[in-house]
Structure 1
């Protein structure tokens, strides 16, 4: 941080609604920023005691020697209508972080009566420009709502709403040099730009008559009937996950070699900020005795059921039934399926 930095003067930023008078916040703005956070960011508003305590904590951090920087827009009557607050913190130096400084955009709030005027874009742009050009911050992070994600992508952030990041190097450091091939960037910087996904693996069982087996969930009303399986742990390969989850959820032991029935993919949505990719393996046919011997984990499932494919349709969401149908077709035909529309929020 630059300890000698004085707050900058008001900056007029052009927006679709005209010129927005953005100014740097001072310690006197601490209470207004906290009230904006309480009213428009937090799920439960703060009481007056906490507003006072938080404002007292924030005020000295908004001084030149502090670690907080904020930009605000005032209404004609002097009340605060929009604000963006960033907190500067150190990180280990790297080519993408030459000064070892990062910032989290902690608060972005706009009074509902002043929205759709470009105020949020204006205060975030002013904050990021100041942190990058004056404070030498190169790594920026923030949490975003799904609705706000497009704005932050336009400003240069990447990733999912759960964690969006941007690396902004000084102009001299970022200037490309003539070369014959594509520009090289550090692996940690490139990793910020690529797809993030969660992975799962399942085992698909049927009974001796070829009827699919499903487990009834006690924790997911949106997906009441499920295949045997779950999310991959770090360091696992997909079939290892399928074997482990099968043992944990049913007590059954699955042996290889693995036979892949389907690959499943889903886009992120409001319910989950990452893409989802999974593999479904053939567990074979179970005897009636094996099905009766299944031992369920009561924290996950409370019933085992076997039904003809058509009878599952009335018991599960349309996309779950479509996935089950694709897996069943792959089992019957021997041709692995690709089910690419198991998106979050598409029930």
Structure 2
């Protein structure tokens, strides 16, 4: 797991009076994510990460270091403000057992110390702080993969097994809980039987797919619609589509508009409607959508539309009254709500976009 600990017995550097200096350990924040990834890359992994992978890992770790995330880390800073040492653990759910009744475990993912800062007890300090924090969060199963040089330290801290796979369980009650229950007035974490790791809780909440569309009209306020080549159930559609990972709704609307029509949207977004649908036989997730105002298009702009033949084969403008005969009732109801929102300036809320109700 780590290539930074050359001895299990390390001492702090003496100060000018010959007294050992204790390292200052603090909990890591999302702002420390890149430093932790760089330390792991340089001093833990057998091959350093590329710049691209450092960036990707940093983006992944940063939100997980937030209070609601599943990562916990402690760091020590060097005098120049750089990272001298760090220990990172990742919390994950496991099936409960007598030794870990909460069904929560933590993997010691990385322990690293800068070469210039070794043999000062830094690794022991950050690992100890991390273990104590995890224990207050009811983690009783700890796992890690350690190198031979680091194994003695982890054995001293309570881990057993081989260096290749070491495990530790701690069943004693956290000191903070003991203090709270004894009534001594000291702050402590309260028992919360409903708490679960974020990634486990995420499996219990509503799932939804999101989309964003743009509502265009011609200069006579007739809606522009595209004819689908793949969806006979919804033959005429607004310009738009499903959001890609990392996109915001307006970004999706702009991207889909360019891909489906070749048109570029200028200006700030103006929301016309929000759309919601319950899951059904056609799709197992709820659907959440936003429809933005694309404004009026000139005849030249409409003629310049370039369709993606894999998605649409026609673009048309028709008076709203004539659209009703060519669309399913649910599709026309949504189109009418969006048109009314454009006319009145009051955003529409349309929550009848359910799957499988036609």
TM-score by length of 2: 0.49
Q: Give the 5 Å matches for 1:336-347.
A: 336-347=347-358
SS in structure 1 opposite 2:342? helix
Provide closer, same or farther for how the CA distance between residues 288 and 181 of structure 1 changes in structure 2, counting only shifts above 3 A: same
Q: Does 1:330 align with 2:344?
A: no
- Residues in 2 aligned to 1:212 and 1:318: alpha-carbon distance in whole angstroms: 16
Identify unmatched segments of 5+ residues in structure 1.
Answer: 1-92, 100-131, 140-172
Q: Does 1:207 align with 2:218?
A: yes
- Residues in 1 aligned to 2:91 and 2:269: alpha-carbon distance in whole angstroms: 42
Determine if contact 2:216/2:223 at 8 Å carries over to the other structure: yes
Match for residue 324 of structure 2 among 313, 316, 322: 313
CA offsets 1:70-89 (integer angstroms, 9 cap, x no match): xxxxxxxxxxxxxxxxxxxx
Which residue of 1 is the match for residue 87 of structure 2?
none
- Residues in 2 aligned to 1:262 and 1:240: alpha-carbon distance in whole angstroms: 16
Aligned CA-pair RMSD: 3.3
- Residues in 2 aligned to 1:318 and 1:95: alpha-carbon distance in whole angstroms: 47
Match for residue 260 of structure 1 among 243, 252, 271: 271
Q: Does 1:297 align with 2:294?
A: no
SS in structure 1 opposite 2:93? coil
Aligned residues: 191
Q: What displacement does 1:243 show? A: 0.3
Q: What displacement does 1:255 show? A: 1.7
Q: Give the 5 Å matches for 1:157-236.
A: 179=190, 183-236=194-247
Q: Does 1:97 align with 2:76?
A: no
Q: Does 1:278 align with 2:289?
A: yes
- Residues in 2 aligned to 1:256 and 1:191: alpha-carbon distance in whole angstroms: 36
- Residues in 2 aligned to 1:231 and 1:256: alpha-carbon distance in whole angstroms: 22
Determine if contact 2:92/2:199 at 8 Å carries over to the other structure: no
SS in structure 2 opposite 1:198? strand
CA offsets 1:167-202 (integer angstroms, 9 cap, x no match): xxxxxx9xxx99487843211111111110000000
CA offsets 1:104-151 (integer angstroms, 9 cap, x no match): xxxxxxxxxxxxxxxxxxxxxxxxxxxx99xx9x79xxxxxxxxxxxx
SS in structure 2 opposite 1:252? coil
Task: Point out 4+ residue stretches in structure 1 off by more than 3 angstroms.
Answer: 177-183
Structure number, greater radius of gyration: 2
Identify unmatched segments of 5+ residues in structure 2.
Answer: 1-89, 105-170, 172-176, 182-189
Q: What displacement does 1:95 show? A: 4.7
SS in structure 1 opposite 2:273? strand
